[in-house]
Structure 1
Amino acid sequence: MKTLSLSYTKSLNKFVQIPLKIKLLTLLLSLAGSIGVAQPNLIPADAQKAARSVRPEAIEAHMRYLADDKLAGRKPGSQGYELAAQYVEKQFKTLGFKPHGQNGTFRQAVPLRKAQVREEASSLALIQDGKEQSLIYGKNFILSPNFGQTSSDVSAPIVFVGFGVSAPELGYDDYSGVDVRGKIVACFNGAPSTFPSNQRAYSSSAKQEVAAAHGAIGLITFSLPTDVSARVEANAPRNRQAIYRWTDLQGRAQRTFPQLRVIASMGDSTTRILFTKAPKTFEQARLNANQNKPQAFPMNVSLRAHTQTELSDGLVGENIVSLLPGSDPKLKDEYVVYVSHLDHLGIGRPIKGASTPGDSIYNGAHDNASGVAINLEAARLFASLPKSPRRSILFVAVTGEEMGLLGSDYFASNPTVPKNKIVANLCLDMPFFFHPLLDIVPYGSEHSSMKMAVESAAKFVGVQIAKDPIPEQAVFMRSDHFSFVRQGIPAIYIKSGSTTGDDRNGTKLNLDWRATIYHTPQDDMNQPFDWNAAARHVQLQFLIGYLTAESDTRPVWNAGDFFGTKFGSPTANKPK
């Protein structure tokens, strides 16, 4: 790996003031970590050899093709996405992987439904003391489309339910002791700060599901005053775009709750009107929320809403599914699934500061040509083994991640192998290799026995395991691994940690990138990628999956784990 030489030179420079013996010893340890050294009894020699054969230049080549302007941002249903799909197919064919989509092909069709609110035909009003106050779309409120019907009407009293979280297993329930059947619930965005990061992220995202489960017929969400990024004004352009969901064989849109006849978000100042005649003021409710106290009470105000939705079918995304059959006569019928999203945002409005003035192509180099490229190189390492792992390996390049994890959710819900035979998932999305990879954040490892494979792989590669430096970003909920968690399948999602090896702050680099480049045309190949760091990601992906595929037992959720309890079944992912 010739690209490692520069990092070795930098390492030498650090030790010029250290006595020679210590200097040489430290350098040798540094080199060992860079090329990957582990105890031979933990990782078989063939796997060690394969891991060391990683090619940084191959990762770069894959990314340069997938992020090229001619692919026009790889939007699902576009010619650019088709070119990307053909490229990925060709790579798997060349490696000797077998097609494992539908009808003997690499493709799995993902039927999608588009829903767009017709703003001019929609309305919302508050009713209090017999007086009706009409609100202004885009200023006071924004509506979500109704996937169940094109025209939806509702008029009902509003009940405030704190964060709108029901998590008795975490000792918290805003719905305790309150009957919201036939009513509209209103709640703050977010979840109690006392929740662990991943559980907090899930609870923040599950408000519609929880409201529907408790019999509510509508949902209003609003931000705390301190949560500027969640305000309706800040999110209006994004929240007014069309929404997509995948449909089942009966044509029903999934991950939707048609019984919620209105789903609205309100601005901060508008929200205060709701509390005018409530038992508590907005400020009292805010303080209770900040103190993580469950709360619920009638607001003594009603809401009348009309949502007009334009629905359309016909767009079909496609996942690319490839198989490396396992070598064990029994375990080959179980599967370790790798996933990375192939899609991006296509062509949009130019963003000031793009490397090319007027550039409107959202190339998605880091998001997520990088993840696809790294998984392709990990697939090559598997193909280079003299003998396949005991379990079978599936690589899936999914569509519609940017639309809401649609391709991965479709595959995890409708896999091309028996669902109960999928033992684990490894996801890669925006791993962040803009500095040397010295530590990693393995999202999900704390929830299952996959932690052991992660630790062994990290030791081989020579990286430390770190805690999530940006828990407020809710990363655990934001990529395709969570589609598998929903199906009770243990999953791992690895991103770079914050250690850079120099005076740069890795967390600041990450947050700055998200603030200035994420989802803009600037996410192209004109970025300072560290290809050696990308190669280490390949080694990690390969080794974690390899060790999982070789193990005598399949991964299991930790006893009493929040996600294992919520989504795991009594028979899924148990040792055999």
Structure 2
Amino acid sequence: MFLHRLLVPLTSAFFSVVINPLFAQSKPSDIPTISAEAQTTARSVRPEAIEAHMRYLADDKLQGRKPGTPGFEMAAQYVEKQFKTLGFKPGVTTSAGQTYRQAVPLRRAQVREEGSTMTLIRDGVDLDLTYGKNYTFTPNFGQPTSEVSAPVVFVGFGVSAPELGYDDYAGIDVRGKIVACFNGAPAAFPSNQRAYSGSAKAEVAALRGAVGLITFSLPTDVRARIESNSPRNRLPIYRWTNASGKAQRTFPQLKVVASLGDSTARSLFDGATKSFEEARKAANQSQPQAFPLPLSVRARTQTDLNDGLVGQNLVGLLHGSDPKLKDEYVVYVSHLDHLGITRPVKGDSINNGAHDNASGVAINLEAARLFASLPKHPRRSILFVAVTGEEMGLLGSDYFASNPTVPKEKIVANLCLDMPFFFHPLLDIVPYGSEHSSMKGAVEAAAQFVGVKIVKDPIPEQSVFMRSDHFSFVRQGIPAIYIKSGSTTGDDRDGTQLNLDWRATVYHTPKDDMNQPFDWTAAARHVQLQFLIGYLTAQDNARPIWNPGDFFGTKFSAASASKQN
């Protein structure tokens, strides 16, 4: 009965009755005012339209929307048709004219295991390791064969964050050496800063002059062990390439990037000035540390490279109405791709990706309809981008944010939607990114209109802030917001546990289809939030800015400053 109740679509008229009293709540004077036109438009949201979009995009005939497949092309054609129907103009200019398609050139790389080796050298004695058992490699995107032999230095978490009072590299020279470090980042860091720092190890090591990187897990971090992730780590990975054919977000100066199993990692510390257990305790106490390990590593990585795949971003443009501000842009993004066809689970091999992320695309399409239905376009222009290659590593969004179809310095904000989690009523939200910029006011105004509370991240260990397409814009110095539901369900269920259970049993499997208990009222509220936050941002005289001294605003200050010039 409960399942049936959640699956019954709601009419727009009924939904407006639900929402009207929520808007009547008092509103503090320090958040933006929502115009009467925007209020009326927000109430016209259609839950049934969200469901219809999702049912098409998650249909078996699209075969999981993997980039480069006929199924992805069907999804792209669907989104393109929606843009045209809504009156959104093609957002891409090419030598052939205007189009909705932005080509994303991709390079595929996969380690050739039979030609790859890793040897520990201690006191002149070689110990050959076994691929998949003791270690795995990350492919080298720069050359088919990469070789290195160098001493190893342990650098704690491999994190350099002086702005947070922490630097594992302080006082040690790692030039020409291979650095070894724990996965993750200091627990003392705030959640988002911890997520970023844990992901930036290769970049930091390369900047410090290292020639290789070895990572391994703390004993408590079972999820990150190669014993758990070996099948996934052995799959090919992708990067986008620039006009010169160079793969991006790669660090060719690192001649080896390896992950070690737990017992192999512990053996690195034999005879060192500090034992593995002592290093672990220091890491758990968020203490920077670095010291040489009494061994060298000789490694050879062989990589099969292929440049045959070209992805597609879909870009729709709604021109702004203000003579000056129309040349600035608020960008909405959601990823259109999913995993395609994989090994069968109970006879089903199609990864439909209903929640991940037909839901985000559907909600953004309905938000686009709200923008198109306004009596007058917002002052700033609005771009809706359905990106490719998110499941491959945020590739489509990173390509767009790095090579936007409008002047980069004119993009003022980004709103992302990916797996918002509407399996229960939407009573509270986690607006990832709102604590970093002046967009917080727009988020608060929208949340009050919809009648939801703003809460803190209930699952900081999942590093959500780093795991979707908004972060591609953060890297370019652009303030971004990414909203997911909170934990309150209105009954005796724990929303956080529902989320974690879903991730453990449904996420990235063929079970993520339309036979799930979606709450279409909650989905419609997500539309309202998306629409109103972007609308208020587009209407404001001032563009969003990073908070003074913000970690991400400072970290990517070069990109941020270029927009102000």
What range is the shorter-chain TM-score in?
Answer: over 0.9
CA distance in structure 1 between the aligned counterparts of 2:144 and 2:496, rounded to whole angstroms:
44
2:83 paired residue number? 92
Sort the Cα spacing of 1:424 and 1:36 in 2 relative to 1 into closer, same or farther, 3 A.
farther
CA distance in structure 2 between the aligned counterparts of 1:522 and 1:252, rounded to whole angstroms:
37
On the 8 A contact 1:277/1:301 being kept in 2, the answer is no
1:361 paired residue number? 350
CA distance in structure 2 between the aligned counterparts of 1:56 and 1:29, rounded to whole angstroms:
14
* Residue 228 of structure 1, CA deviation: 0.5
1:297 paired residue number? 291
2:12 paired residue number? none
CA distance in structure 1 between the aligned counterparts of 2:204 and 2:190, rounded to whole angstroms:
19
CA distance in structure 2 between the aligned counterparts of 1:163 and 1:419, rounded to whole angstroms:
33
Matched letter for residue 141 of structure 2: F
Question: Is it true that 1:57 corresponds to 2:48 in the alignment?
Answer: yes
Given candidates 399, 407, 412, the residue that maps to 2:396 is: 407
* Residue 573 of structure 1, CA deviation: 5.5
* Residue 100 of structure 1, CA deviation: 0.9
On the 8 A contact 1:320/1:398 being kept in 2, the answer is yes
Question: Is it true that 1:373 corresponds to 2:362 in the alignment?
Answer: yes
CA distance in structure 1 between the aligned counterparts of 2:438 and 2:317, rounded to whole angstroms:
24
Instruction: Determine helix, strand or coil for the equivalent of 2:344.
Output: coil
CA distance in structure 1 between the aligned counterparts of 2:306 and 2:398, rounded to whole angstroms:
20
On the 8 A contact 1:555/1:573 being kept in 2, the answer is no
* Residue 314 of structure 1, CA deviation: 1.3
* Residue 571 of structure 1, CA deviation: 3.1
* Residue 141 of structure 1, CA deviation: 0.2
On the 8 A contact 2:192/2:466 being kept in 1, the answer is yes
Matched letter for residue 553 of structure 2: G
On the 8 A contact 1:37/1:461 being kept in 2, the answer is no
1:382 paired residue number? 371
Alignment of 1:443-458 (within 5 A): 443-458=432-447
Alignment of 1:464-479 (within 5 A): 464-479=453-468
CA distance in structure 1 between the aligned counterparts of 2:19 and 2:360, rounded to whole angstroms:
26
CA distance in structure 2 between the aligned counterparts of 1:446 and 1:33, rounded to whole angstroms:
28
* Residue 30 of structure 1, CA deviation: 7.5
Matched letter for residue 72 of structure 1: Q
CA distance in structure 1 between the aligned counterparts of 2:247 and 2:408, rounded to whole angstroms:
21
Alignment of 1:323-334 (within 5 A): 323-334=317-328
CA distance in structure 2 between the aligned counterparts of 1:289 and 1:504, rounded to whole angstroms:
35
Alignment of 1:257-336 (within 5 A): 257-336=251-330
Instruction: Determine helix, strand or coil for the equivalent of 1:436.
Output: coil
2:143 paired residue number? 149
* Residue 300 of structure 1, CA deviation: 1.3
Sort the Cα spacing of 1:36 and 1:309 in 2 relative to 1 into closer, same or farther, 3 A.
farther
Given candidates 43, 48, 58, the residue that maps to 1:67 is: 58
Matched letter for residue 430 of structure 1: M
Alignment of 1:408-423 (within 5 A): 408-423=397-412
Matched letter for residue 232 of structure 2: R
On the 8 A contact 2:19/2:450 being kept in 1, the answer is no
1:437 paired residue number? 426
CA distance in structure 2 between the aligned counterparts of 1:457 and 1:467, rounded to whole angstroms:
17
Question: Is it true that 1:121 corresponds to 2:95 in the alignment?
Answer: no
On the 8 A contact 1:35/1:52 being kept in 2, the answer is no
Q: Which runs of 5+ in 2 are unaligned?
A: 7-15
Superimposed CA distance per residue, residues 247-282 of structure 1 (whole angstroms, 9 cap, x where no aligned partner): 000000000000000000000000111101211110
CA distance in structure 1 between the aligned counterparts of 2:394 and 2:176, rounded to whole angstroms:
31
Instruction: Determine helix, strand or coil for the equivalent of 2:472.
Output: helix
Superimposed CA distance per residue, residues 386-414 of structure 1 (whole angstroms, 9 cap, x where no aligned partner): 10000000000000000000000000000
* Residue 38 of structure 1, CA deviation: 6.8
* Residue 53 of structure 1, CA deviation: 0.1
CA distance in structure 2 between the aligned counterparts of 1:220 and 1:34, rounded to whole angstroms:
53
Alignment of 1:169-184 (within 5 A): 169-184=163-178
CA distance in structure 1 between the aligned counterparts of 2:270 and 2:299, rounded to whole angstroms:
20
* Residue 377 of structure 1, CA deviation: 0.1
Instruction: Determine helix, strand or coil for the equivalent of 1:337.
Output: strand
2:533 paired residue number? 544
Question: Is it true that 1:524 corresponds to 2:513 in the alignment?
Answer: yes
Tell me which moved more, 276-285 or 429-438: 276-285
Sort the Cα spacing of 1:554 and 1:192 in 2 relative to 1 into closer, same or farther, 3 A.
same
Superimposed CA distance per residue, residues 21-46 of structure 1 (whole angstroms, 9 cap, x where no aligned partner): xxxxxxx9976455776769811111
On the 8 A contact 2:330/2:534 being kept in 1, the answer is yes
On the 8 A contact 1:74/1:80 being kept in 2, the answer is yes
Matched letter for residue 436 of structure 1: P
1:485 paired residue number? 474
Identity across matched positions, percent: 77
Instruction: Determine helix, strand or coil for the equivalent of 1:433.
Output: coil
CA distance in structure 2 between the aligned counterparts of 1:105 and 1:399, rounded to whole angstroms:
16
Superimposed CA distance per residue, residues 473-510 of structure 1 (whole angstroms, 9 cap, x where no aligned partner): 00000000000000000000000000000000000000
Moved >6 Å (runs of 4+): 35-38
Superimposed CA distance per residue, residues 175-198 of structure 1 (whole angstroms, 9 cap, x where no aligned partner): 000000000000000000000000
2:561 paired residue number? 571
Superimposed CA distance per residue, residues 416-474 of structure 1 (whole angstroms, 9 cap, x where no aligned partner): 00000000000000000000000000000000000000000000000000000000000
1:16 paired residue number? none
On the 8 A contact 2:213/2:254 being kept in 1, the answer is yes
Sort the Cα spacing of 1:531 and 1:30 in 2 relative to 1 into closer, same or farther, 3 A.
closer
Matched letter for residue 43 of structure 1: I
CA distance in structure 2 between the aligned counterparts of 1:195 and 1:147, rounded to whole angstroms:
31
CA distance in structure 2 between the aligned counterparts of 1:69 and 1:293, rounded to whole angstroms:
51
1:221 paired residue number? 215
Question: Is it true that 1:514 corresponds to 2:508 in the alignment?
Answer: no
Superimposed CA distance per residue, residues 347-396 of structure 1 (whole angstroms, 9 cap, x where no aligned partner): 00012xxxxx3000000000000000000000000000010000000000
Question: Is it true that 1:185 corresponds to 2:185 in the alignment?
Answer: no
Instruction: Determine helix, strand or coil for the equivalent of 1:152.
Output: strand
Matched letter for residue 344 of structure 1: H
Matched letter for residue 166 of structure 2: Y
Instruction: Determine helix, strand or coil for the equivalent of 1:350.
Output: strand
1:497 paired residue number? 486
Matched letter for residue 399 of structure 1: T
On the 8 A contact 1:36/1:461 being kept in 2, the answer is no
1:3 paired residue number? none
TM-align CA RMSD: 1.8
CA distance in structure 1 between the aligned counterparts of 2:406 and 2:158, rounded to whole angstroms:
37
Q: Which runs of 5+ in 1 are unaligned?
A: 1-5, 8-27, 352-356
Q: TM-score, normalised by structure 1?
A: 0.93
CA distance in structure 2 between the aligned counterparts of 1:365 and 1:75, rounded to whole angstroms:
13
CA distance in structure 1 between the aligned counterparts of 2:518 and 2:113, rounded to whole angstroms:
42
2:550 paired residue number? 561
Instruction: Determine helix, strand or coil for the equivalent of 2:364.
Output: helix
Given candidates 85, 101, 104, the residue that maps to 2:92 is: 101
